[in-house]
A and B are shown apart, each in its own frame.
Chain A
Amino acid sequence: MRRVYFDHSSTTPLDPAAAGEMAPYFTEFFGNPSSFHYFGRGVRKAVEEAREKVAGAIGADPREIVFTSGGTESVNMAIEGIAQANQKKGNHIITCAVEHHCSLNTCKSLAKKGFEVTFLPVDSYGMVSVDDIAAAITDRTVLINIMHANNEVGTIQPVAEIGRLARERGVYFHSDACTSFGRVPVNVDDLGVNLLSLSAHKIYGPKGAGALYLRKGTRWQPLFHGGAQERMRRSGTENVPAIIGFGKTAELAAAGLEHEITYLTGLRDKIIREVIGRFDNIRLTGHPEKRTPNLASFCFEFIEGESMLLHLDMQGVAASSGSACTSGSLEPSHVLTSMGIPPEVAHGSLLLTLGKNNTEEDVDYFLAVLPPIIERLRDMSPLCHYDHCEVEEDCITCTARK
């Protein structure tokens, strides 16, 4: 059976070139980079080269890169580290409703500890308003935490504007760039961030590696207590093979970015055009233009996401959804509901995230297998059938949205 992987927002396949560079660091070059001797020195050199590559990919100084275990750790370190280190100035954090759980839950945890957190709303595209952020800043605000691109709907936030605002108002700014890195240009000076979180496995790197960009001069404190690794900013022996792989894929991502944007935008737009043109009672989620080039996301009314995913999987297509059943909770995705999408519609979410190995044939295959699945599930649905919506005036589900 043909297998089509359209779930690159979950994870990406490891680039073979990165796997090749990583391999000897599992066995031959096993030394601890903190060791003074021959075995350690060689590995230290390789880790520092990887750091230069990651720094180069985002326009940073290598000394500003802290290797971590991944995006979640980076985000925790950024938010918690700023909050704890700046308590003399204040205890207020500004973030928004569509952040990844690693941001939201870190902020909620701080709120329980007595910090004040403002969770700003977003518009129907999932975009936060810079004016709202400006209005929320007080003399107690220590951090603005707004993601670069959203992982479920692809919406790209006005990060550069937020960066300018943060600088003017003397507030630190952290952006989670796990979804945007390798998909759109990410340059720490252009974005005006003080801190930035990156993940390796979203850019064809290995799982278990990420980085926190920490601008020189930022008042911040580490989360882990231990040895002097990563210039005292992240204790614990480095995950060397993963760091080597991350360095390689960061380099490849930066070099291939322009091509990838053009290529994936073409595939993505074909999916959006065809799917929207093919079905009624469907909506594109996220911003129509300001979105990551590899992400197509929809809500199909009257049907539920997990059912779609199961059928697609049986046809060989791997995709994702923000429905309750797939999110692992009883609520549909907080991203979709924050955008004002009613819960019953959010349950019909379908998320397709493309990657560099996808082809036009993959897209055509998906477009061929999708319609019978949607029709079958809608035929089975007791909710108002889309063909009858306009005639059945008593159908609350449909008329409420007309």
Chain B
Amino acid sequence: MYSEKVMDHFSNPRNVGEIPDADGIGEVGNPTCGDIMKIFIKVKDGVIDDIKFKTFGCGAAIATSSMVTELVKGKTIDEALKISNKTVAEALDGLPSKKMHCSNLAADALHKAIEDYRNRSKK
């Protein structure tokens, strides 16, 4: 049911963990639905210098979290904002249709982390 890429990112997730002094943190989902994704970013000169995630959820939730971190690491904030949930799913060679809505939220978590970073920078 899952593509090889999904299984690869699920079984060897990239960038798992937290960044204690993160510049931005984004969280989406809720435990009742069975998916929570939390993304931590460190920004240097407008570039995502480091990114880590923690996820509670199914295989698709973990794989999309891992994939989004890989897609945006080293990218500028503007480039990262162009990444959508759809981009993430495509990069994983697709997701089962019923997972597209419930577990494909990693880009949302990333965008929230960027929003958090921007809010903090304004202060």
**Interface positions of A (Cβ within 8 A of B):** 302-307, 310-311, 314, 323-325, 328, 330, 332, 343-344, 347, 379-383, 397
Are B59 and A382 touching (Cβ within 8 A)? no
Q: Tell me whether chain A's interface is mostly helix, strand or loop, or mixed.
A: helix
Pick the contact of A380: B7, B16, B99 (CB < 8 A): B16
B64: min CB distance to chain A, Å: 13
Known contacts A324-B102, A344-B31, A383-B56, then 11 further A-B pairs from the complex at CB < 8 Å, ordered by chain A residue: A304-B57, A307-B10, A310-B10, A325-B102, A379-B16, A380-B13, A380-B54, A382-B27, A382-B55, A382-B56, A383-B36
Q: Which of B32, B37, B98 has the most chain A CB within a 10 Å cutoff? A: B32
Known: A325-B103, A347-B31, A382-B38. A303 touches B56 (CB 8 A): yes
| Chain B neighbourhood of A310, CB < 8 A | 2, 7, 10-11, 59
Are A382 and B36 touching (Cβ within 8 A)? yes
Q: What CA separation (Å) do A161 and B37 show in the bound complex? A: 48
Are B31 and A343 touching (Cβ within 8 A)? yes
Are A344 and B34 touching (Cβ within 8 A)? yes
Are B34 and A307 touching (Cβ within 8 A)? no
| Chain B neighbourhood of A330, CB < 8 A | 33, 102
Known: A310-B10, A314-B11. A380 touches B55 (CB 8 A): yes
Q: How many A-B residue pairs have CB under 8 A?
A: 70
Are A324 and B34 touching (Cβ within 8 A)? yes
Q: What CA separation (Å) do A118 and B58 show in the bound complex? A: 34
| Chain A neighbourhood of B33, CB < 8 A | 324, 330, 343
| Chain B neighbourhood of A381, CB < 8 A | 54-56
| Chain A neighbourhood of B57, CB < 8 A | 304, 307, 325
Closest to A324 in B: B34
Are B11 and A307 touching (Cβ within 8 A)? no
- C-beta contact mask, B52-94 vs A, less than 8 Å → 1, else 0? 0011111111100000000000000000000000000000000
**Interface positions of B (Cβ within 8 A of A):** 2, 7, 10-11, 13, 16, 27, 31-38, 54-62, 98-99, 102-103
B88: min CB distance to chain A, Å: 18
Q: What CA separation (Å) do A382 and B26 show in the bound complex? A: 12
| Chain B neighbourhood of A344, CB < 8 A | 31-32, 34
| Chain B neighbourhood of A306, CB < 8 A | 58-59
| 6 A-B residue pairings within 8 Å (CB atoms) | A310-B7, A310-B10, A323-B58, A330-B33, A343-B34, A397-B31
B15: min CB distance to chain A, Å: 11
Pick the contact of B34: A304, A328, A380 (CB < 8 A): A304
Known: A304-B61, A330-B102. A325 touches B34 (CB 8 A): yes
B42: min CB distance to chain A, Å: 18
Q: What CA separation (Å) do A340 and B81 show in the bound complex? A: 41
Are B59 and A383 touching (Cβ within 8 A)? no
Q: What CA separation (Å) do A306 and B1 show in the bound complex? A: 12
Are A328 and B31 touching (Cβ within 8 A)? no
A375: min CB distance to chain B, Å: 13
B101: min CB distance to chain A, Å: 9
Are A304 and B11 touching (Cβ within 8 A)? no
Are A325 and B56 touching (Cβ within 8 A)? no
The 7 A-B residue pairs whose C-beta atoms are closest, nearest first, are: A344-B31, A382-B54, A306-B58, A325-B58, A347-B34, A382-B38, A381-B56
| Chain A neighbourhood of B32, CB < 8 A | 343-344
| Chain B neighbourhood of A383, CB < 8 A | 31, 36, 56
Q: What CA separation (Å) do A343 and B10 show in the bound complex? A: 23
Q: What CA separation (Å) do A344 and B59 show in the bound complex? A: 16
Closest to B36 in A: A382
Are A323 and B56 touching (Cβ within 8 A)? no
Q: Which of B33, B54, B57 has the most chain A CB within a 10 Å cutoff? A: B57
Closest to B61 in A: A304
Q: What CA separation (Å) do A314 and B11 show in the bound complex? A: 9
Closest to A328 in B: B98
Closest to B2 in A: A310
Q: What CA separation (Å) do A332 and B103 show in the bound complex? A: 14
Q: What CA separation (Å) do A158 and B35 show in the bound complex? A: 37
Q: What CA separation (Å) do A346 and B71 show in the bound complex? A: 32
Q: What CA separation (Å) do A147 and B13 show in the bound complex? A: 42
Q: What CA separation (Å) do A307 and B35 show in the bound complex? A: 11
Q: What CA separation (Å) do A302 and B58 show in the bound complex? A: 12
Are B103 and A380 touching (Cβ within 8 A)? no
A12: min CB distance to chain B, Å: 23
A345: min CB distance to chain B, Å: 9
A330: min CB distance to chain B, Å: 6
Are A304 and B58 touching (Cβ within 8 A)? yes
Q: What CA separation (Å) do A302 and B27 show in the bound complex? A: 16
Q: What CA separation (Å) do A325 and B101 show in the bound complex? A: 12
B38: min CB distance to chain A, Å: 4
Are A307 and B27 touching (Cβ within 8 A)? no
Q: What CA separation (Å) do A307 and B63 show in the bound complex? A: 10
